[in-house]
Amino acid sequence: MTVKRIGLYGGTFDPIHNGHLRVVVELLSRKIVDQIILIPAGQPLLRESDPTVEGAIRYEMCKLAIGDLPTGIKELVSVSDIEIKRTGPSFAIDTVEEIEKLHIGEKELYWIIGSDAYANLTKWHRHEELQEKVSFIVIDRPGDNGDGIDIGALDISATQVRSDSQLNGISPSVRKFITERKLYASK
């Protein structure tokens, strides 16, 4: 049986933007993982502020963004609402344990993480256990010369997107969704 490499890509995705999608496309195109599961955070603890919009909306935006990915890539990406359905804080270790139960069989789990977040991994809940259960794919941020993977990361943030009245840096379907619902800077 072939081992399937599943990339778990957690984030607030408030909103999901082209920088996130670049990570997805690069990791799948380079065959670093066989599939990616996007996991919008429910109640992230290590962020300075709560998400701007509720989890169900961020989940929908992730699903829409997948549809804008190239053929051959989008079929390998799914979105999980595992964290936004969970009450209380979103801990990566809890998510990994739940996903292990859902993906029985020969698999390797990889946690996709930016170099900035990886630098703070020791602050994560039960980080030692997490490190035993998953391998980390560390993505270098723009300007980093770190030990991560250089995918030519885009210099974009959700904060920038939210403050941009033109909604640059997001996929067409997500832009339409935000505009129709008058979210963020589209008000």
- What are the residue ranges spanned by the domains of the chain? 4-186
Instruction: Assess whether pLDDT exceeds 80 at residue 104.
Output: no
Q: What is the pLDDT of residues 28-38, one digit of tens each?
A: 999 999 999 99
Q: What is the pLDDT of residue 146?
A: 72
Instruction: Assess whether pLDDT exceeds 80 at residue 103.
Output: no
Q: What is the pLDDT of residues 106-138, one digit of tens each?
A: 799 999 999 988 999 999 999 999 999 999 999
Q: Helix/strand/coil (H, E, C) string of the chain?
A: CCCEEEEEEEECCCCCCHHHHHHHHHHHHCCCCCEEEEEECCCCCCCCCCCCCCHHHHHHHHHHHHHCCCCCCHHHEEECCHHHHCCCCCCHHHHHHHHHHHCCCCEEEEEEEEHHHHCCHHHCCCHHHHHHHCEEEEECCCCCCCCCECCCCCCCCHHHHHHCCCCCCCCHHHHHHHHHHCCHHHC
Cα 143 to the chain's mean position, in Å? 20
Highest mean pLDDT among 10-24, 43-57, 145-159: 10-24
Range with lowest mean pLDDT among 94-98, 100-104, 115-119, 128-132: 100-104
Q: What is the pLDDT of residue 187?
A: 45
Omega cis (within 30) before 15: yes
Record: fold of 4-186 = Rossmann fold (3.40.50)
What's the CA gap between 185 and 59, in Å, rounded? 19
Cα separations (Å) of 120 from 80, 82, 83, 101?
24, 23, 20, 27
Direct distance between the N- and C-terminal alpha carbons of the chain, in angstroms, rounded to an integer: 51
Average pLDDT value over all residues in the chain: 91
Instruction: Assess whether pLDDT exceeds 60 at residue 185.
Output: no
Instruction: Assess whether pLDDT exceeds 50 at residue 45.
Output: yes
